[in-house]
Amino acid sequence: MKRMLQALLLGTALATTPGLADHASHSAAEVQAGELAISGAFLRATLPRAPVGGGYLTIANQGTEDDRLVSVTAPVGKEVQIHEMANTDGVMTMRQLVGGLPIPAGRTVVLEPGGLHLMVMGLTERLVEGKSMDMVLRFEKAGEVTVRFDILALNTRGMAEDHTGHAAPAGDREGHGMSHDGAGFDQARVEGDEARITGLLKDMFETENAPLSVAPILIEGDTAVIGWSQEDRGGRALLRRDAQGFWRVSLCAGDGLKGEANMAALGVEPEAATRLAAIQAQEEAALPPEQVARFASFDGVMHVDQEGGH
Ligand SMILES: [Cu+2]
């Protein structure tokens, strides 16, 4: 009886995440498809109700003929798009590569945070850290190949960091064109806290079909409390600024970040909480009431970054 119940529960759990598997020991191994060597495939874990997820990998064309990544399919979400980042007037935006991604002969194409990436659109379930998901890549010449993507921490930069538990040295990271903040958006490209925070949040959660608005942005010292809304959802987030002046999302909440007492309960220093709560009351009163109502729709508290972590 107990065993049956366990099987039932397990069945239910699996049914809610049909595309996700537990980490297999051979995951993220190099896969060969014709002349293409594919390695380092990972997805970033997503927050609850996040509509999109980012996928990254390295494709080396060891042959003498150009190839092209034509399409990608995933067992979850509506579709997978191939995106590039473009710098438009100092603002990083994402653009879909509709014609696919060229993989020139003898070249290695790296999809990484802050640059080219796969984007799983229309997610209806979370990508859970520690699991993995198989996606099918279709190349013009090499044909179809199934690649296992490990699901790594939300802010991870890549396989190397995750496996050692330490970030690569800053110089090394910059050398690979990666971002400073741990997410895909390079905050060094823009000046000012508002632009950095807005860029960070948009990079994490915005899609073409679901624009994200970030307001109000309340800053006290190295702590910020912001509100965001996207379609009919919304929430508040607590951010921390590091020594280089780059912001990271520490946690997300709804009304858990409303008011002085709640902020203090979530670790905001008492003096900062007092000032932040005062400007929060003012700024939120100036916003449309339906937008403020959306902030409360975020259930509970989601820790994104461990305080004092890497
Ligand atoms: Cu994208």
Same structural domain for residues 120 and 201?
A: no
What would the mean pLDDT of 5-34 be, rounded to a whole number?
Answer: 59
Tell me the pLDDT tens digit for each residue of 78-97.
999 999 877 666 555 678 89
In this predicted structure, what is the pLDDT of residue 185?
76
Asked if 39 and 119 sit in the same domain, the reply is: yes
pLDDT band at 66 (very low <50, low <70, confident <90, very high): very high
User: How far, in Å, is the centroid of ligand 1 from the Cα of 218?
Assistant: 27
Task: State the distance from the centre of ligand 1 to the C-alpha of 206, rounded, in angstroms.
Answer: 8
Residues 232 and 143 reside in one and the same domain: no
- Is residue 134 in some structural domain? yes
Q: Taking all residues of the chain, what is their mean pLDDT, rounded to a whole number?
A: 80
Dist. CA 114 → ligand 1 center (Å): 10
Confidence band for 23, pLDDT divided at 50, 70 and 90: low
The DSSP string of the chain is -HHHHHHHHHHHHHHHSTTEEEPPTTTT--EEETTEEEEEEEEE---TT-S-EEEEEEEEE-SSS-EEEEEEE-SSSSEEEEEEEEEETTEEEEEE-TT-EEE-TT-EEEE-TTSSEEEEES--S---TTEEEEEEEEETTTEEEEEEEEEE-TT---HHHHHHSSPPPHHHHHHTT--SSSSSS-GGGS-SHHHHHHHHHHHHH--SSS-EEEEEEEEETTEEEEEEEETTEEEEEEEEE-TTS-EEEEEEESGGGSSHHHHHHTT--HHHHHHHHHHHHHHHHTS-HHHHHHHTTS-SEEE-S-TT--
Do 12 and 154 reside in the same domain of the chain? Answer: yes
Q: What residue numbers bound the domain in which 42 lies?
A: 2-164
Rg (CA), the chain: 21
118: CA distance to ligand 1 center in Å? 7
Q: Is there a contact between 223 and 268 (Cβ–Cβ < 8 Å)?
A: yes
- Say which residue, 74 or 207, is predicted with more confidence: 74
160, 40: one domain: yes
Ligand 1 centroid distance, CA of 252 (Å): 21
Would residue 175 count as lying in a domain?
A: no
For the segment 174-184, the average pLDDT, to the nearest whole number, is 34
Q: How far is the CA of 117 from the centre of ligand 1 (A)?
A: 6
Statement to judge: residues 17 and 147 lie in one domain = yes
Residues 144, 14 share a domain:
yes
- d(CA 160, CA 166) in angstroms, rounded, equals 8
Q: Are residues 157 and 222 in the same domain?
A: no
Percent of the chain with pLDDT over 70: 77
Q: In angstroms, what is the span from residue 81 Cα to ligand 1's centroid?
A: 8
For residues 253 and 87, the model is more confident at 253
- Taking the centre of ligand 1 as the mean of its atom positions, its distance from the CA of residue 162, in whole angstroms, is 21
Task: Note whether residue 182 is domain-resident.
Answer: no
Q: How far is the CA of 204 from the centre of ligand 1 (A)?
A: 9
Greater confidence (186 vs 58) lies with 58
Between residues 115 and 118, the one the model is more confident about: 118
pLDDT number for residue 184: 63
pLDDT at 140: 98
**Does the residue 207 lie in any domain?**
yes
Model pLDDT, residue 14 = 40
Whether residue 168 has pLDDT greater than 70: no
Count of structural domains within the chain: 2
More confident residue, 91 or 226: 226
Is the confidence at residue 2, as pLDDT, over 90? no
- pLDDT confidence tier of residue 100, bands split at 50, 70 and 90: very high
137 and 242 both lie in a single domain:
no
Is residue 230 included in any domain, yes or no? yes
- Cα of 67 from ligand 1 centre, angstroms: 22
Residues 296 and 238 in one domain: yes
pTM over cut 0.75: no
Task: Answer yes or no: is pLDDT of 28 > 50.
Answer: yes
**How does pLDDT run across 10-19, given as a tens digit for each residue?**
433 343 456 7
Q: State whether 218 and 137 are in the same domain.
A: no
Mean pLDDT is lowest, of 118-132, 153-167, 232-246, for: 153-167
How much is the pLDDT for 138?
A: 98
What's the CATH number where 66 sits? 2.60.40.1890
Which of residues 27 and 115 earns the better pLDDT score?
115
Q: Is 308 a member of any domain? A: no
Q: Would you say residue 25 lies in a domain?
A: yes
Do 79 and 154 lie in one domain? The reply is yes
**Within-domain flag for 279:** yes
